Structure 1
Amino acid sequence: MGSLGVDFVSPNEKMEMEFDSSAFPPFKLSQIRASIPKHCWIKNPWKSLSYVLRDIIIVFALVTMAIFFDNWKFWPIYWILQGTMFWAIFVLGHDCGHGSFSDSALLNSVVGHILHSFILVPYHGWRISHKTHHQNHGNVEADESWVPMPEKIYKELDFATKFFRFKIPFPLLAYPIYLITRSPGKKGSHFNPYSDLFQPNERKCVVTSTLCWTLMVALLFYLHTVIDSLQLLKLYGIPYMIFVMWLDFVTYLHHHGHEEKLPWYRGKEWTYLRGGLTTIDRDYGVFNNIHHDIGTHVIHHLFPQIPHYHLVEATKAAKPILGKYYREPKKSGPIPIHLVENLVKSMKQDHYVSDNGEIVYYQTDPKFFNFSGKKDE
């Protein structure tokens, strides 16, 4: 204590006193909504379909080029470009699932099934679980996507499970497994209409999506008889794996960040607004437009009904209201290399949360293996 009876406060402590990201925000969801221009809420089905047409044309153009050149100098370029386009197609199907594609439930469902089945995603199964994620974002007990494990569940995992969950690049290939088994500590499958994920009135939708997914698998088996397995792997299999890596990379980074510890909530501390404010915007450089501005994630989480082509404008309008609760994304060059560092550091540090407490933060397992793959002593 100083000579005048005042405690000394260090600069770092002062910054923490000035802003606590877990504190109740001084604004309401309705205020954010009111700050967004009215036209940002309008869904234009023709504009949405134009993006679908654009992506499909690019996908088939890339296939044509790959078949025409068919040499090992071009294949790696094709895989990266086509895998990225598969991811762009997923984002458009994602908009259908949110209803931000159009006001027509039928159009959303038809387009969503076509796009998602093409990349082996069960549309309704995923749509319903993703809705659960948005409705419970930031909630340790009820969130669905990359939700942190309580310490008790984490400590019950064997070394192999921890290794494949936290050792790069394996977490970037987790999505197909998640569709079948969900995350540790959770039960159910996105393909099973009787899974805990779904309500009885949703079962017919899940059956429809599983059938569409099965038809796509059957088509791939048929193509296997028409062209050799290696050619099918080159044209579809490897781009599919790159798409999965994009999906896991992006979804993880929007809910984790080594720059600062993000709060997670339980019980009465959780609210829809507080949970939504734990998401992070990211700048993906040249890929921002290619994958339909999915990096503008905060406003998307709070208002998933806004079409992707209005998210940037809506975010700019809402920033004065959000203030410090909005984490300005680090500007990227053409290629977002810095985000790989974010991912690696987060995977190294963010392992579990405490079993107790209504506001918790990721903790690091000091006994966990280091990134050379060796167990710590």
Structure 2
Amino acid sequence: MASRLADSSFLFMGPQQRPIKPHRFQPLKSPGLYYLKWKSLPPTRIKHQRCLIPLRRITTVRAVAVPVAPSPADSSPTPAESAEYRKQLSESYGFKQIGEPLPENVALKDIVATLPKKVFEIDDVKAWKSVLISVTSYALGLFMISKAAWYLLPLAWAWTGDCNHRGHDCAHKSFSKNKLVEDIVGTLAFLPLIYPYEPWRFKHDQHHAKTNMLSEDTAWHPVWREEFDSSPVLRNAIVYGYGPLRPWMLMWHFDVKKFRPNEVKRVKISLACVIAFMAIGWPLIIYKTGIMGWIKFWLMPWLGYHFWMSTFTMVHHTAPHIPFKYSDEWNAAQAQLNGTVHCDYPRWIEILCHHINVHIPHHISPRIPSYNLLAAHQSLRENWGKYLNEATWNWRLMKTILTTCHVYNKEQNYIAFDELAPEESYPITILKKVMPDYA
């Protein structure tokens, strides 16, 4: 935020009260803090008969601009100043655009009302076409794994892991008008992932209902300072988990006690399906291909899937300027429109994951089928474009998330681990050194 000097020029006053010509200051770009360079005074000596302050020849002064309370007339930045500040933040964080704050009086229903009705329509042909794409792509991935040279296996694993996203629409009840069909397709789609469909659906619905709400959001959220300070062992685990291991961190959905009584029956059915798949599927894979085959054909694609899902989830809701709020301060429209990020990935990734990274309309209404997300996003751009956060995937974006967005702070949103415990945050220091920084 732009800091202001109490007086933009320093005046040396002699007895005649005539000011010396003020010198220009050059601010270096940094939000909230400015380093000021005083241009060198002329080499000739300045003479005054009487001077309140003895003058000396000064070449360079380095000073910090200290914010002062602004007058009512200039308490708010101009639109041009706000736009320039957001532009600087965008460049710094790796965004294409950081949106303006959404006004408090805008409700989520106001945003939903601007979307075309057709984007909510379920098209069975398009839905089953997307299933065909997922099944075919997964089969192709397994074929590539079986034939690829060892140095091409990571690409094959990444491809195969990105194919397992078809259950998402089923979980949001936007796949079919027949809810039994949705549950069957969703359960089958989740089985290779060892994810119980119903527990994931319940927790994921909570993420959509409480996006960026402290303690309530079930996706990625900031670390609590109390957790970070509680013990050295936990602190080290958190630093690794939110740093270099974050793209592979898994969410656990096997604890029945975490669900409401009316959800437990469906949760247990999903758990039984997953256990049956593990009890039958894993031995068959090992019988046909051996332990190395199990690692090659199941474990590595599974880790690939978690890499994509964790990375997608991080990018969608995590940035230094996106706040998490307590429930009494939380605003649904701000969280879903201002607190969600649209991120463009390479075309092949978008096709395989069914455009889940067109994420803002997905949070405005999870009932929009995946094949309609592009049309819905275009509508949001036309009606709410200046409020949207948009990015194209790049290394600076990932570096910002992995090295900055750590511990919750109400004023700053996040404090990085290495600011709180630099001697114990060497994984973050290493990431800062080795990760590329280009956008």
1:17–1:84 CA distance, 2 compared to 1 (3 A): closer
Q: Displacement of 1:31 after TM fit?
A: 2.7
The residue aligned with 1:163 is 239
Measured in 1, the distance between the counterparts of 2:396 and 2:248 equals 18
Measured in 2, the distance between the counterparts of 1:77 and 1:174 equals 20
The residue aligned with 2:222 is 148
Q: Is the 8 A contact 1:22 1:263 kept in 2?
A: no
| 3-state SS in 1 of match to 2:159 | helix
The residue aligned with 1:204 is 265
Q: Displacement of 1:11 after TM fit?
A: 7.7
Question: Could you tell me which of 401, 411, 421 is aligned with 1:346?
Answer: 401
Measured in 2, the distance between the counterparts of 1:215 and 1:154 equals 38
Measured in 2, the distance between the counterparts of 1:344 and 1:360 equals 18
Q: Displacement of 1:280 after TM fit?
A: 0.7
Question: Could you tell me which of 78, 82, 89 is aligned with 1:15?
Answer: 82
Q: Displacement of 1:12 after TM fit?
A: 9.8
Question: Could you tell me which of 271, 286, 309 is aligned with 1:224?
Answer: 286
* Greater C-alpha radius of gyration: 2
The residue aligned with 2:299 is 237
| 3-state SS in 1 of match to 2:408 | coil
Measured in 2, the distance between the counterparts of 1:139 and 1:61 equals 40
The residue aligned with 2:13 is none
**Residues matched between the structures, number:** 341
The residue aligned with 1:174 is 249
Q: Displacement of 1:372 after TM fit?
A: 4.2
Q: Displacement of 1:26 after TM fit?
A: 4.9
The residue aligned with 1:187 is none
TM-score normalized by the length of structure 1: 0.82
Q: Displacement of 1:166 after TM fit?
A: 2.5
The residue aligned with 1:53 is 132
Percent identity of paired positions between Structure 1 and Structure 2:
23
| 3-state SS in 1 of match to 2:150 | coil
| Structure 1 unmatched runs, 5+ | 180-189, 331-335
Measured in 2, the distance between the counterparts of 1:325 and 1:7 equals 24
Corresponding letter in the other structure for 2:367:
Q
Question: Does residue 338 of structure 2 align to residue 280 of structure 1?
Answer: no
1:26–1:319 CA distance, 2 compared to 1 (3 A): farther
Q: Is the 8 A contact 1:192 1:206 kept in 2?
A: no
| 3-state SS in 1 of match to 2:344 | coil
| Structure 2 unmatched runs, 5+ | 1-5, 9-70, 87-98, 432-439
Corresponding letter in the other structure for 1:263:
P
1:8–1:191 CA distance, 2 compared to 1 (3 A): closer
The residue aligned with 1:112 is 186
Q: Is the 8 A contact 1:21 1:262 kept in 2?
A: no
The residue aligned with 2:94 is none
Q: Deviations over 1:200-246 (max 9, x none)?
A: 01101110111111122121123212321112211221111111111
Corresponding letter in the other structure for 2:226:
K
Across the aligned residues of Structure 1 and Structure 2, the Cα RMSD in angstroms comes to: 2.8
Measured in 1, the distance between the counterparts of 2:327 and 2:194 equals 36
Q: Deviations over 1:1-49 (max 9, x none)?
A: 679x865988899317998955634533233222211111101233212
Measured in 2, the distance between the counterparts of 1:18 and 1:70 equals 48
Measured in 1, the distance between the counterparts of 2:170 and 2:343 equals 22
| 3-state SS in 2 of match to 1:328 | strand
* Higher strand proportion (structure 1 or 2): 2
Q: Displacement of 1:56 after TM fit?
A: 0.7
Measured in 2, the distance between the counterparts of 1:300 and 1:97 equals 13
TM-score normalized by the length of structure 2: 0.71
